Amino acid sequence: MVGQVVKWVRYGGFGFIKTAPGLPDIYVHNQALPPGMKALPVKQRVRFLLSKAPGGVEAIQVELLEPSVHCGQIDQPLHTRRARD
């Protein structure tokens, strides 16, 4: 399957991939990412396989479809965010 990362929770080590409008987002854990990667930027296009999981399905064997470019925000815990003036 092919999709696009719509959310990544860095402190939780997981995120969600959207495959098509109207379909539920697919859960992905950082253990499914290529070696050396711990997070995916929002809007990153990926290819992956689906696997059964306790809560439904999850993405496994995730591959990047183009070079990883930080195109969006990766969620961070509130205590690490800087306040804006």
Tens of pLDDT, residues 26-77: 999 999 999 999 999 999 999 999 999 888 899 999 999 986 555 444 444 4
Residue burial 60-75, b: 16+ Cβ < 10 Å; e: rest = eebebeeeeeeeeebe
Tell me if the domain spanning 2-80 has CATH number 2.40.50.140: yes
**Helix or strand or coil: residue 78?**
helix
| pLDDT for res 61 | 97
| pLDDT for res 66 | 80
Judge whether residue 23 has pLDDT over 60: yes
| pLDDT for res 6 | 97
Domain ranges of the chain: 2-80
